[in-house]
A and B are shown apart, each in its own frame.
Chain A
Amino acid sequence: MSIASKAAGVEFRNVSRRYGNTTAVDDVSFTIEAGNLVTLLGPSGCGKTTTLRMIAGLEMASSGTILIGGKDVTRLPATDRNVTMVFQSYALFPHMTVADNVAYGLVVSGVRKRDAAAKATEGLELVGLGGYGQRLPSELSGGQQQRVAVARALVLEPEVLLFDEPLSNLDAKLRRKMRDDIRELQQKLGLTSVYVTHDQEEALAVSDRIIVMNKSVIAQTGTPDELYRRPKNRFVADFIGGANLIDGELVGRSGGTATVALGRLTLSVPDPGLPAGEVLLAIRPNAIRLRTGSADSAGDGIPVTVRKATYLGSHMEYGLTSEFGDLFVVDPNVASPVPAGATALATFTGDGIAAVAR
């Protein structure tokens, strides 16, 4: 016996979820391929957790259709769906041992006790907790509890494995390790996983694809790279990776790139598909470089004043004042930092700038 995968795809067709007058999820459609890890990313209250719970069957869609593995499960309660979930709080049953926790889903599904126990042991070994079976959850560390929760969800060989902000209760270092472990496990077993987080860095690190949600609707869907480099709107640009948003004007396009005017400068950006005219430029903090020197070479940059300079070991962070507004810059050049109060020239690297609608 071994833990296999029965990975299945998930599809939402025009799904909405309303509570009285408020709409938590508004006419959302997406498809998740089998074997992928897809992240639902967004600020709190954007509807990502509600979406996840609708996949689990813990919430019922007010309208629309939900398919798992091509089967309509819209009206099916959680119990009858082959979907498991790792909860933010881990939700380990405090009165059961670790082994009983992991075997729980098997036992209630009618698997014989001995088989369930064997599979639970296997599941625990998979997450590196062999030999911890007889402990109580309260006797484990936070990271270990997290692993038990994952093992418990895995042994049922679910069609879809859901993660609801699974790392938010861990400290920064552990979080990084756990997210790598989860990703590794998911890829090893070929699981379909849906992962909810509000941490964009975590999302970028683990996902095959990311669904960015804002205000109950999907803001953009894509691979981490697509989202970072070609955000479709102001929200995504700002939420993923952070960006300096300044006004510009789209003046022309040719072969997949567009030309945007910023003051006297012209910059090339990936073509946003917007009509010519006023646009918003999203400039990544690491797409700006600072140069001290004479103003005569101002042709490729804009003059700025350094308001604040912070030394962070691996890089510098600057707060700048310019005629286009305040700018935030991350500069890897720590060898010759620009002191606060100095004037400098800000230039733009070719990458890391996108144009979105105003």
Chain B
Amino acid sequence: MKSAANWIKSAGFGLGALAAGAVFAVTPAPAKAQGTLTVLCGVQEEWCKAIAVAFEKKSGIAVAMSRKSAGEALAQIRAEAANPKTDVWWGGPGDPHLQAAEEGLTLAYESPQYKELQPWAQSQYKQSQGRSIGIYAGALGFTYNTELLGKRKIQAPKCWADLLRPEFKDEIQVANPNASGTAYTALATLVQIFGEEKAFDYLKKLNENVNQYTKSGSAPAAAVARSETLVGIIFMHDGINQKINGFPVDVSAPCEGTGYEIGSVSIIKGSKNLDAAKAFYEFSLSPEGQATGAETKQFQMPSNRKAAVPPEAPNLEEIRLIDYNFQKYGTAEERKRLLSRWDAEIKSVAR
């Protein structure tokens, strides 16, 4: 008894709207602009934004940039391995970059700027079979709250051994190596300095003084700055960053020697904007690109020898850097073993 027109009208209202929703829901939205370069960024967010803007200005290529911790970035790249959505992984400690290289997630690429780079940057390139390269270096060290130290009349820590002093009881923060690349670097550094058994003895004693294993590597620096804790084990540039921001903090390098990270850049295998990815890679190795760090108060050592070294940056020459074996401690196997041991012997001990 109803006219066809009426039928269609009613169908058009209800089912049509629903179906439109459903079709929409299973149809991936088209990328906003073809050729947008997708970058996972492992440094401070300000720097991420700055280098993206600088690159866009120079090349005209739009950049979608997201800050991710090293672990998050690696997890994402791994999850997307079958069908990558990311083009470049820029910044963050060299270890996970090596891991990605080892798993074949990233692409080998030879840069014409290779010869202009510091030897440590080149070594990252060699160890990764060309799949990754250093863009900055940062040494591991301590940061401490000068105001609190002064108030309590405590000497600033200068050596790893100082951290075991009873006056630091419950006053030290370091990240959880299971979550943070920074803390894993610290763990591997200690193992390389003291030998594995002694290193774990040290960590057990240190555990008495640690009030919290944070999730992010730079969180202890922020905590020290806000007087939440006295001392933090961090990459020194993170501490300097807080100092520049006006907090009563200072940094020091351990006297026994210390490890360092090689902040790296890798191109993701299967990138759909390979040319743009290479352009970004080159830009981030150039003195111009590396200057964006200092512009945003990030004081890592740049890897290009021609790049200006910010005066605030910790001078790597004056720091006792150990001969960090990235090859060995970068493998998934060794990493898993050390982390499991850390979990079993340190983390599980209640405090």
Query: Is any CB of A less than 8 Å from a CB of B in the complex?
Result: yes
* A positions within 8 Å CB-CB of B: 79-80, 82, 109-110
- B6 nearest CB neighbor, chain A only: A110
Expressed in whole angstroms, the Cα–Cα distance for A110 and B3 within the complex equals: 7
Q: Separation in Å of the B114 CB from the closest CB of chain A?
A: 75
B23 lies within 8 A of chain A by Cβ:
no
**Interfacial chain A residues near B6, Cβ < 8 Å:** 109-110
- B10 nearest CB neighbor, chain A only: A108
Expressed in whole angstroms, the Cα–Cα distance for A198 and B3 within the complex equals: 39
- A81 nearest CB neighbor, chain B only: B1
Q: Separation in Å of the A288 CB from the closest CB of chain B?
A: 55
- B3 nearest CB neighbor, chain A only: A110
**Interfacial chain B residues near A82, Cβ < 8 Å:** 1
Q: Separation in Å of the B147 CB from the closest CB of chain A?
A: 67
Expressed in whole angstroms, the Cα–Cα distance for A82 and B1 within the complex equals: 8
**Interfacial chain A residues near B1, Cβ < 8 Å:** 80, 82, 109
- B7 nearest CB neighbor, chain A only: A110
Q: Separation in Å of the A150 CB from the closest CB of chain B?
A: 21
11 residue pairs bridging A and B, Cβ less than 8 Å apart = A79-B2, A80-B1, A80-B2, A82-B1, A109-B1, A109-B2, A109-B6, A110-B2, A110-B3, A110-B5, A110-B6
Q: Separation in Å of the A108 CB from the closest CB of chain B?
A: 8
Q: Separation in Å of the B6 CB from the closest CB of chain A?
A: 4
Expressed in whole angstroms, the Cα–Cα distance for A112 and B6 within the complex equals: 12
Q: Which 5 pairs from chain A and chain B are nearest by CB? A: A110-B6, A110-B3, A109-B2, A82-B1, A80-B1
Q: Separation in Å of the A105 CB from the closest CB of chain B?
A: 11
Expressed in whole angstroms, the Cα–Cα distance for A79 and B2 within the complex equals: 9
Q: A79-B2, A110-B6 are in contact. List 9 more A-B contacts (CB 8 A).
A: A80-B1, A80-B2, A82-B1, A109-B1, A109-B2, A109-B6, A110-B2, A110-B3, A110-B5
Q: Separation in Å of the B8 CB from the closest CB of chain A?
A: 11
Expressed in whole angstroms, the Cα–Cα distance for A109 and B6 within the complex equals: 8
Count of B interface residues, CB-CB < 8 Å? 5
**Interfacial chain B residues near A110, Cβ < 8 Å:** 2-3, 5-6
Most chain B CB inside 10 Å of its own CB: which residue of A79, A80, A109, A110 = A110
Interface residues of B in 1-39 (CB under 8 A from A): 1-3, 5-6
Interface residues of B in 65-109 (CB under 8 A from A): none
Expressed in whole angstroms, the Cα–Cα distance for A79 and B6 within the complex equals: 13
Expressed in whole angstroms, the Cα–Cα distance for A37 and B243 within the complex equals: 95
Most chain A CB inside 10 Å of its own CB: which residue of B1, B5, B6 = B1
**Interfacial chain B residues near A109, Cβ < 8 Å:** 1-2, 6
**Interfacial chain A residues near B3, Cβ < 8 Å:** 110
Expressed in whole angstroms, the Cα–Cα distance for A80 and B1 within the complex equals: 6
**Interfacial chain A residues near B5, Cβ < 8 Å:** 110
Q: Separation in Å of the A78 CB from the closest CB of chain B?
A: 12
Expressed in whole angstroms, the Cα–Cα distance for A306 and B275 within the complex equals: 113
- B9 nearest CB neighbor, chain A only: A110
**Interfacial chain A residues near B2, Cβ < 8 Å:** 79-80, 109-110
Expressed in whole angstroms, the Cα–Cα distance for A109 and B7 within the complex equals: 10
Expressed in whole angstroms, the Cα–Cα distance for A80 and B6 within the complex equals: 13
Expressed in whole angstroms, the Cα–Cα distance for A80 and B3 within the complex equals: 11
- A110 nearest CB neighbor, chain B only: B6
Q: Separation in Å of the A301 CB from the closest CB of chain B?
A: 63
Q: Quick one: CB contact mask for B291-314 with A, threshold 8 Å, 1 for yes?
A: 000000000000000000000000
Expressed in whole angstroms, the Cα–Cα distance for A109 and B1 within the complex equals: 8
Q: Separation in Å of the B244 CB from the closest CB of chain A?
A: 64
Expressed in whole angstroms, the Cα–Cα distance for A130 and B6 within the complex equals: 30
Expressed in whole angstroms, the Cα–Cα distance for A189 and B2 within the complex equals: 24
Q: Separation in Å of the B4 CB from the closest CB of chain A?
A: 10
- A80 nearest CB neighbor, chain B only: B1
Q: Separation in Å of the A50 CB from the closest CB of chain B?
A: 25
Q: Separation in Å of the A197 CB from the closest CB of chain B?
A: 29
- A79 nearest CB neighbor, chain B only: B2
- B5 nearest CB neighbor, chain A only: A110
Expressed in whole angstroms, the Cα–Cα distance for A79 and B10 within the complex equals: 13
Q: Separation in Å of the B239 CB from the closest CB of chain A?
A: 66
Expressed in whole angstroms, the Cα–Cα distance for A92 and B158 within the complex equals: 85
Q: Separation in Å of the B3 CB from the closest CB of chain A?
A: 5
- A156 nearest CB neighbor, chain B only: B1
Interface residues of B in 41-87 (CB under 8 A from A): none
Q: Separation in Å of the A164 CB from the closest CB of chain B?
A: 22
Q: Separation in Å of the B204 CB from the closest CB of chain A?
A: 68
Expressed in whole angstroms, the Cα–Cα distance for A79 and B1 within the complex equals: 9
Q: Separation in Å of the A48 CB from the closest CB of chain B?
A: 27
Expressed in whole angstroms, the Cα–Cα distance for A110 and B7 within the complex equals: 10
Expressed in whole angstroms, the Cα–Cα distance for A110 and B2 within the complex equals: 7
Expressed in whole angstroms, the Cα–Cα distance for A31 and B132 within the complex equals: 88
Q: Separation in Å of the A350 CB from the closest CB of chain B?
A: 54
Expressed in whole angstroms, the Cα–Cα distance for A232 and B344 within the complex equals: 89
Expressed in whole angstroms, the Cα–Cα distance for A217 and B38 within the complex equals: 74
Q: Separation in Å of the A160 CB from the closest CB of chain B?
A: 14
**Interfacial chain B residues near A79, Cβ < 8 Å:** 2
Expressed in whole angstroms, the Cα–Cα distance for A80 and B5 within the complex equals: 15
Expressed in whole angstroms, the Cα–Cα distance for A109 and B5 within the complex equals: 11
Expressed in whole angstroms, the Cα–Cα distance for A109 and B2 within the complex equals: 6
Expressed in whole angstroms, the Cα–Cα distance for A79 and B7 within the complex equals: 12
Expressed in whole angstroms, the Cα–Cα distance for A237 and B274 within the complex equals: 93
Q: Separation in Å of the A129 CB from the closest CB of chain B?
A: 27
Expressed in whole angstroms, the Cα–Cα distance for A152 and B3 within the complex equals: 21
Expressed in whole angstroms, the Cα–Cα distance for A82 and B2 within the complex equals: 11
Expressed in whole angstroms, the Cα–Cα distance for A80 and B7 within the complex equals: 12
Q: Separation in Å of the A354 CB from the closest CB of chain B?
A: 46
